[in-house]
Amino acid sequence: MKIEDLRREYTAAGLREADASDDPLEQFGRWFDQALAAEVPEVNAMTLATADGAGRPAARIVLLKGFNDEGFVFYTNHESRKGQELAANPQAALLFFWVPLERQVRIEGPVTRVSREESEAYFRSRPRGSQIGAWASQQSAVIADRGELEARVRTLESQYADQDVPLPPRWGGYRLTPEAIEFWQGRPSRLHDRLRYQFEDGAWRRHRLSP
């Protein structure tokens, strides 16, 4: 089959204003719970798009680790490419794509680091192997081969064999505070439903967008 012939019709549901919350964070919670109930694989996986100081974009998948009225939280190495880009240009976009439900959610806004205490609390909840990995990986840096990384892991496992693994100083969380959230529901004939919430003058305002 040719690439240009790949397509599917979206028929699962619609998205009407009457059925959507006036609060986009509440609406996100509804959709997230429905995605959990539908056992969508990697339901908290999201594309994180950033740009460097010159405006060159980059995107990758990260995992959502919390959300509330303050924003959406993820964790990474502050010295990684995305960490450096967020330091130079603290704006980002998130994208969730829940294929079984034929839904997307796009979120845009400024990004700040979470408190050291919040990062510490989350780090303590991680599996020990992931804690060691946070120390072993100089994320985005060039290494000679896989063996170099595995040797570093063995050294760290020996170093912390009889103690808790501390939080690396270069590792922690970020919070995107939403200024715009768009809910996309696939519909037949590419006439999709799109509701965009924009935070303006201290309040959320909702608009329907043409597909």
Residue 17: both structure tokens together: 């204003």
Q: Length of the chain in residues, anyone? A: 211
The whole-angstrom separation of Cα 35 and Cα 75 is 22
Would you call 82 exposed, middle or buried from its count of C-beta atoms within 10 A (0-12, 13-18, 19+)? buried
β-strand 180-185 against 71-77: which pairing, if any?
Answer: unpaired
DSSP state string for 64-94 = --EEETTEEEEEEETTSHHHHHHHHS-EEEE
Among the listed residues 190, 196, 205, 206, the single catalytic one is 190
128 is an active site residue = no
Residues β-bridged to residue 111: 176
Q: In sequence order, which residues have a C-beta less than 8 Å from that of residue 205 and are 6 or more positions away?
A: 197, 198, 199
Distance between CA atoms of residues 81 and 181, nearest Å: 25
Core vs surface per residue 184-193: b (16+ CB within 10 A) or e: bbbbeeeebb
Cα 19 to its chain centre, rounded Å, is: 25
Positions annotated as catalytic residues are 190
